[in-house]
Amino acid sequence: MISKHALRYLAPNLVTTISLTFGLLSIAATMDGNYASAGWWIVYATLTDRLDGFVARLVRGTSELGVQLDSFADFLNFGLAPAFLVYASLVRAPELPFADGIERTLLMAACASWVIAATFRLARYNITDEVETPMPTKIFFGVPTTLAGGLLVLWYLTLYKYSPAGSAFPALAEPFGGVRLIGGFETPMWVWRYIPVAMFIGAYLMVSSLRMPHLGRLRSRTASIILYVFVGVGVFCGFARLFPEYMILPATAWMIVYSIWGQISPVARGITPPPVFPRD
């Protein structure tokens, strides 16, 4: 019989396991060609990413095992699964030039860079608690893998949703995402050719020392309320598989605004990132 002590540590790890399962379901859906479903499974993993930490703090069940499990889940959910979704879908699209040649090599390099960058980002995050210099608890160095992976997939779902009927991504044959908030807009096919470029940029941002604050309460109470309303609506849309075109707005705005803030703020620039290698 499992003791209450063991259950306290088991609870957050069970949440992590559920999140990990979402990533596996995404990979399975990609293999079956269900790209919209594959994207939404990653969105589910994004929405539950911080739930294991919340449960661990709630029941006082934080453990080193849980930290490592969370990193492996993030690697699968936001590193491997999005890259596999992008690679498999673009290679199979007959109207795009990624089936062979230099374009396929470029796509492979972009997806590999994404996975490697996510791995490096997670490994660097894990060692921040081991450095001798005290580190601020409300600052990320480099764009978090959750934000990067979630944004990549949300933009993918939005472009997929608005792809015209009969194109390489026949969204009308696979209805999803609710009514079209952007009306009659249709995704131009040339946009998909720049997905590898976006992945290279995302990979760089993950491994960079860009300062970004954690999502939390802002100085203004009104701004905090507005922020959490946007986040709450986004969480509902994510679990309901609705309106990816709405969900990209708060996440993209957050990354753009605070990416700029991390470069121009004297406070942010004065914070030194932890060393990657031992100083001695």
pLDDT-derived band of residue 11, with 50, 70 and 90 as boundaries?
confident
The residue whose two tokens read 């210099």 is 133
Cα angle vertex 179, ends 177, 184, to 5°? 110
- Residue 275 placed within a domain: no
Is residue 103 within 8 Å of 143, Cβ to Cβ? no
Domain membership flag for residue 273:
no
11 within a domain of the structure (yes/no): yes
Residue partners of 196: CB distance under 8 A and separation at least 6 = 106, 107, 109, 110, 111
Write the DSSP symbol of residue 140. E
Question: What does pTM read for this prediction?
Answer: 0.89
Torsion angle defined by CA atoms of residues 13, 150, 130 and 113, in that order, rounded to the nearest 10 degrees: 120
Query: How far is CA 154 from its chain centroid?
Result: 9
Q: Are 262 and 268 in contact (CB under 8 A)?
A: yes
- The pLDDT-based confidence of 57 (bands split at 50, 70, 90) is confident
Structure tokens at 25: 């379901």
- 221 lies in some domain: yes
Q: What is the pLDDT of residue 271?
A: 77
> Among all chains, which residue has been given the structure tokens 């063991």?
6
* CATH number of the domain encompassing residue 54: 1.20.120.1760
pLDDT tens readout for residues 210-234: 888 776 656 667 767 877 888 889 8
Q: How far is CA 170 from CA 161, 163, 189, 207, 259, in A?
A: 8, 6, 12, 35, 34
18/254: higher pLDDT: 18
| In a domain? residue 235 | yes
Comparing 171 with 148, the larger pLDDT belongs to 148
Residue 246 in any domain: the answer is yes
Residue 26 banded pLDDT, cuts 50, 70, 90: very high
pLDDT of 258 > 70? The answer is yes
pLDDT score at 97? 92
pLDDT attached to residue 214 = 73
Domains contained in the chain, number: 1
Any domain includes 43: yes
pLDDT at 278 over 70: no
The boundaries of the domain holding residue 44 are 4-268
Sign of CA dihedral 44, 50, 56, 58: negative
Over the stretch 157-185, which tens digit does the pLDDT of each residue have?
A: 999 998 887 666 655 445 577 888 888 88
Residue 197, domain member (yes or no)? yes
Where on the phi/psi map is residue 100: left (φ > 0), alpha (ψ -120 to 50), or beta? beta
- pLDDT of residue 265 exceeding 90: no
The C-alpha atoms of residue 38 and residue 31 are separated, in whole angstroms, by 9
